Each structure stands twice: as structure tokens, then as C-alpha cells.
Amino acid sequence: MPSSPITDEPVVQVRDLQMSYGPRAVLTGVDLDVHRGEVVCLLGPNGAGKTTTIEILEGFRLPSAGTVRVLGGDPATGDDAWRARIGVVLQSWRDHPRWTPRRLLSYLGGYYAPYATPDHPRPYEVDWLLTTVGLTDGADRKIATLSGGQRRRLDVAVGVIGRPELLFLDEPTAGFDPEARRDFHDLVHRLSDLEGTSILLTTHDLGEAERLADRILILNEGRIVADGSPDALARQVAGRAEVRWTCAGEVFVHATDEPVPFVRELLAQHDDISDLEVRRADLEDTYLAMVHRSESTPRSPELVEVTR
Ligand SMILES: Nc1ncnc2c1ncn2[C@@H]1O[C@H](COP(=O)(O)OP(=O)(O)OP(=O)(O)O)[C@@H](O)[C@H]1O
């Protein structure tokens, strides 16, 4: 398998992926692509099968049926050279408690060095990576003594030390404080924009998905039920805007496809309008509407007119 193929083939290509645990079908026909350099966010309710999907793509789990191509190869038979090109951040990694982050990263980095090419040096330089993930303070402490957030920063560093072309992140910011979360988002942007790393991540944090993702996939009831940019998905669900205002001490809400003329007319008719706000569906509205739409009891995403 070549180290850096120049091709337009998606870095991840999945067709009709199915996975059952015993009699329980979790994935019933997943189709998805990740293109080179994209940041794709996989969303879905608890138990939807996000981790299962990621583990199949990583080659850690064998699917029941379907076609899976990752960096041009089948993860089930990926060799060391293939594995060196992917990075993995699992939901939890508890190991090497007596090592220091610096030692662990230097050690793991050694595995990737033989797979370096002139175009793609490997691994990342350890000091640079420790700084980049915000772990300089804990770099020389025993891993067992790190805080949960520092531990998670180390997980991310372990996942990317080999300078992966494709990075899988399973709930990478679970347990992060707001500063660590912001640092992590900067890191994802840096890897994607400057290094061209393709990234597939799962999260339950919709704000994070909106901030990071070029494209969002929603997995529900065994299939991908939505695929698009955060904006495109929001437009599909709720083209209507919600206009909210206060008049004579009363709050009004009105849903409209044409908020500008509506607001113009409102202001022309009343001179005591206050707290005027125009709101479009955010990713949370979109996500909930898409998930419910794909379930047996569809719920209308329409905004209803109310006064209170
Ligand atoms: N090794 C396993 N054996 C049997 N069932 C499993 C196994 N791993 C996962 N499952 C089940 O498969 C379903 C999907 O689990 P998975 O962890 O992939 O979902 P998820 O979308 O990642 O969930 P969460 O958002 O809670 O992390 C769940 O019902 C889970 O209980």
C-alpha cells in the first residue's frame, strides 16, 4: 500500500455496513464517505452504533456485512504500514500509569518512524506535540497522577503522535473543561487546515459539532438519516425563522419564511416594540428533528405561533 497516494478516492468509503451483536442488529445499512481533508462529525443518540462504526473503520471490530474501505484498504486486513497512517483516540485509554507523557509519546513515536516518507515525516516532534495539546505542565509527571483533563489531552496526543493522514476521535472532549475544549478545537482546526488531516469524530456536544464539522452525519436506528453541512441540515429542517418580540408588556412569537418584510411591517405598525429577536433553527433543533423524523412517530419541526 503506498504511503501517500494522490487520489480523489474518499479516505473512508462505507457501503451497506451491517453489524449485529448476537440477535441484535445495531447497524442495518450504513453508507458514508469521508473525503480527504474533511472534518466529519458522526452524531446519534446513545447506543446508535457510533463507536461500533468507528471500531469497524479502525479494524478493531469485524462487520457482519457490507463494504468498508479506509485509506484504500480493508481495515480487517490492514497491515502495519496501513495502521501507521491512521490515528485513533478511543473513549478511554488507561495504561502505562508509571510512565510520563513525554516517555510514552517518545516510545510510541518510535513505531511510526519507519513509515516516514520525504513528503510525510513521522512522528511529530514530542515537545511540539506536548505544547500543542497543552500538556507541557504534566509532561514529566507519572501518568497516574494526571488530572482527568490532562489524561484526555494525553489520549489525543497518543492518537496523533504518528502524524496520521486520517484520525478517528471517539468523544474526544468528554471530561474537558472549557479551556481544554477550546484548545482541542484549535488543534482539530490546525490538523485539518495546516496538516490536511482527515478527521472523523463522534460527539454528543452539538456546539462542538457545529464548530468543527465540515459535514455532519446523523446515525439513528442503524442508518445514516442525515448528511450535510450544519447550515444545509438546518435549512432542510426549518427554513422558517422565528421572530420574537415584546409589545405592551406581552411576548409574541411568530414563524415566517420572510423575516425581513415581517419585521419591517411589525415596526411600521407598532412604535412600542422591544426585545426584538430573529432566530433560525440551530443544530440542536436540527438534530432533534432529524432523529425524530427517522423514528416511527415523526414530530413536526414546524415552529408554532404562540403568545405568552
Ligand atoms: N461488544 C458488544 N457486545 C454486545 N453489544 C454491544 C457491544 N458493543 C456495543 N454493543 C451494543 O451495541 C449498541 C451500540 O453501541 P455503541 O457503543 O456502538 O453506540 P454509541 O452510539 O457509540 O453509544 P454512546 O453514544 O452511548 O457511546 C448498544 O446497544 C450497545 O449496548
Quick check: 276 and 260 in contact, CB under 8 A?
no
- The cell numbers describing 304, all together, are 408554532
- Tell me which residue has its CA closest to atom 9 in ligand 1: 52
- Tell me which residue has its CA closest to atom 24 in ligand 1: 46
CA of 18 relative to ligand 1 center, distance in Å? 14
CA of 53 relative to ligand 1 center, distance in Å? 10
CA of 175 relative to ligand 1 center, distance in Å? 20
Q: How far apart are CA 36 and CA 192, in angstroms?
A: 10
Q: What is the pLDDT of residue 302?
A: 37
Q: Which candidate, 20, 15, 50, places its Cα nearest to that of 33?
A: 15
41: CB partners within 8 A, 6+ apart: 200, 201, 202, 203, 208, 209, 212, 213, 215, 216, 217
Q: Dihedrals φ, ψ of 39, to 5°?
A: -110, 115
Walk along the chain (308 residues) and give the pLDDT tens digit of each residue.
Answer: 444 444 578 999 999 999 999 999 999 999 999 999 999 999 999 999 999 999 999 999 999 999 999 999 999 999 999 999 999 987 666 678 899 999 999 999 999 999 999 988 999 999 999 998 889 989 999 999 998 888 888 988 999 999 999 999 999 888 788 888 888 898 899 899 988 999 999 998 888 998 999 999 999 999 999 999 888 887 776 567 889 999 988 999 998 888 889 999 999 999 899 999 988 777 787 788 778 877 754 433 333 333 33
Confirm or reject: Cβ of 46 under 6 Å from ligand 1: yes
Task: Find where cell 415552529 sits.
Answer: 303
Q: What is the pLDDT of residue 307?
A: 32
Q: What is the pLDDT of residue 306?
A: 34
**CATH classification for the domain delimited by 12-232, as one of 3.40.50.300, 3.40.718.10, 3.30.70.1070, 3.40.50.10860:** 3.40.50.300
Domain locations in the chain as residue ranges: 12-232, 239-307
CA of 97 relative to ligand 1 center, distance in Å? 27
Q: What is the pLDDT of residue 199?
A: 97
Q: Is 73 exposed, middle or buried (0-12, 13-18, 19+ CB in 10 A)?
A: middle
Q: How far apart are CA 301 and CA 288, in angstroms?
A: 9
- Tell me which residue has its CA closest to atom 11 in ligand 1: 47
Tell which atom from ligand 1 comes closest to the C-alpha of 219. Answer: 21
Q: What is the pLDDT of residue 242?
A: 85
176: CB partners within 8 A, 6+ apart: 149, 152, 184
237: CB partners within 8 A, 6+ apart: 281, 285, 286, 289, 290, 301
Q: What is the pLDDT of residue 237?
A: 62
- The cell numbers describing 75, all together, are 481495515
AA letter at 269 = Q
Task: Find where cell 516510545 sits.
Answer: 107
Q: Which candidate, 287, 228, 241, places its Cα nearest to that of 48?
A: 287
ipTM: 0.97
Test site for ligand 1: of 50, 56, 57, 92, most ligand atoms within 8 A of the Cβ: 50
Q: What is the pLDDT of residue 232?
A: 81
Q: Is 87 exposed, middle or buried (0-12, 13-18, 19+ CB in 10 A)?
A: buried
Quick check: 200 and 57 in contact, CB under 8 A?
yes
68: CB partners within 8 A, 6+ apart: 13, 14, 17, 56, 57, 74, 75, 76
CA of 126 relative to ligand 1 center, distance in Å? 34
